[in-house]
Amino acid sequence: MTENENAERWYSNPLVQGIVRACRKVEVFKDEVRRFYYAVLLSAHSCPVCGGSLRMTGPSECECKCGNKLDPTVAFQRSDCCGAPLLQMVLHYVCSECQRIVPSRFLFDERLFDPEYFREKMRESRERKRHRREELRLLLAGSRSAGLCLTDLPGLESIPGLEAALDGFIGTAGQISLTDFLGRGEFQMSRYREAILGVVPAGCSIRFSGIPPLCENPRHDRARRFITLLFMEQAREVEMSQCEDDILVERYEVDGEG
């Protein structure tokens, strides 16, 4: 049985249909109670501009026919402690005298929400991330080495002791193939890039240790993942940051704000 068939069977159940109808009636009744509650509260107040009647248009907002909009809690309610006007904070109201939290009578079951405050906080967060990316870009640009031009192939003798060390290494390890030295399986950075983008959707993050391995050798796989992430960070596809004893990998988001 498919998922759609299961859903149809579930909703065709008489008990479920009765519950759905009851929930809808409760919502309708709740809306009527809310409108009646606000009508009774605002009947005792009038528009301070033209003296007209007011009606609620949203949480902590009422409007007059003349176009005047105001917060009825700030305009009409006084604190029980000091009898002073109330001040709107981020998520509640306080007495303007003693700063004690005062519940608003003009909120039925809604929560006070200041969208401008949260827009500003989001803007500041994006600005901090932009500055962090710019500082990282300047740091990487400053640490980048100059161009290297080789006129001749470098010789082993250019590094004192290197040739002897290599001879000793080969002598103790025997004949080693390039495949054995680099590890089994060819390193394809494109495979690792596609795998990383697949497990880190836009706007999300994942720990470095949580990226699924693509290679049987854990040491080789860890090195290849890290190298791929370094190139992806240079290409501004991901961001890496220290997270305790791990690395947090975040998808780079293009900031649409001007």
Q: What pTM does this model have?
A: 0.38
Instruction: List where CATH 1.10.10.580 sits in the chain.
Output: 186-258
For residue 218, what are the CA distances in angstroms to 116, 231, 232, 253?
Answer: 49, 20, 21, 30
Contact 68, 122 (CB under 8 A): no
DSSP annotation string for 55-107:
EEEETTEEEETTS-EE-HHHHH-B-TTT-PBEEE-SSSEEETTT--EE--TT-
DSSP β-ladder status, 101-102 and 93-95:
antiparallel
pLDDT at 122: 79
- d(C-alpha 216, C-alpha 237), whole Å: 26
pLDDT at 173: 47
Span 23-39, pLDDT tens digits: 889 888 988 998 898 88
pLDDT lower than 50: segments of the chain: 172-174, 178, 181-182, 255-258
Instruction: Classify domain 186-258 at the CATH superfamily level.
Output: Structural maintenance of chromosome 1. Chain E (1.10.10.580)
- d(C-alpha 27, C-alpha 51), whole Å: 33
- d(C-alpha 85, C-alpha 95), whole Å: 6
- d(C-alpha 37, C-alpha 163), whole Å: 90
pLDDT at 145: 59
- Helix, strand, coil percentages for the chain (3-state, nearest 5): 50, 15, 40
